[in-house]
Chain A
Amino acid sequence: MLLIRCPYCETERPELEFRYGGEALLERPKDPALVSDDAWTAYLWTCKNPKGPHAERWRHVHGCGRFFNAARNTVSDLIVSTWRVDDSPPANFDGGGA
């Protein structure tokens, strides 16, 4: 069971309190009506699925209720860092295998 640091509670909590929320750092188009079908479909469904560091969304659902971002290494399963949704990823995060 992983320990995950919630950047809002500022403490590490067991995985049981969290829910995975898919890939992070995806930007919803400002005006979806102006986006092509292909671009919108890619936004909806195309995932990076990298081997190595991956930016993910998690929610502290049985805690403060906040969504936040996490850099998880998909090889070691370790969550290297977490940050608030309005913060930038840590400087050493290599961008999620893009």
Chain B
Amino acid sequence: MVEISRGRAAVQMQAASGRFVFRGGRDAALACGRGFGLALPAPPLWSSDIGDRAALWLGPDEWLLIANEAGTLRVLRDALAGMAHALVDVSSRDCLFDICGPDAALLLNAAIPLDLSEQGFPIGACTRTVFAKAGATLWRREREIFQLSVARSHGDYAQRLLDEALRSMPEP
């Protein structure tokens, strides 16, 4: 894990984890949630999580499932047998960063145009968005911890931009 921090914000590059894209209709989403042991959130831009397993709403028929246990994919496939759906392993696809600290939102707002205040983007909120010139997924795991993911080949760009943003952060 690589960490860069200055003042009240820190960037930690995370190792890849088990990540799966589930797409399908309502019945399949219910079945997927049962198999996953965690109901897929129905409200837009919202997540649910238990321990280190989480389900993020990314679109009306699309969720990102996060789980590190080996065999997750097989369990899910069994739960979804016979139902129309797509379940794709994307564990290698993304580069993950944890952005932590009281000024995490301020740091992210150097490159993300969204309102990341606790009212605008509460704990549990998640979304795809843009990080400067790269597409990104953002998830507020805790009050002071955001998880930012970008496509693997955009990882270097995101890291350098975060580093520059850390060096030039405004006063809180």
Which A residues lie at the B interface, using CB under 8 A? 1, 8-11, 13-14, 16-17, 62-66
Contacts and interface: CB of A to CB of B under 8 A. Distances in A.
B113 A63 contact: no
B114 A13 contact: yes
Contact of A11 (B44, B59, B62): B44
The 8 closest A-B CB pairs, nearest first, are: A64-B59, A14-B113, A9-B44, A62-B130, A65-B59, A8-B60, A16-B130, A10-B44
A17 B44 contact: no
Nearest to B131: A62
Contacts of A65: 58-59, 62, 128
B105 to A, nearest CB: 16
Contacts of B60: 8, 64, 66
Given A8-B44, A11-B45, A16-B113, A62 B59 contact: no
Interface residues of B, number: 14
17 contacts: A8-B60, A10-B44, A14-B113, A14-B114, A16-B113, A16-B130, A17-B113, A17-B128, A17-B129, A17-B130, A62-B135, A63-B59, A63-B128, A64-B44, A65-B58, A65-B59, A65-B62
B30 to A, nearest CB: 19
A14 B112 CA distance: 10
A8 B59 contact: yes
A11 B120 CA distance: 10
Interface in B112-145: 113-114, 127-130, 135-136
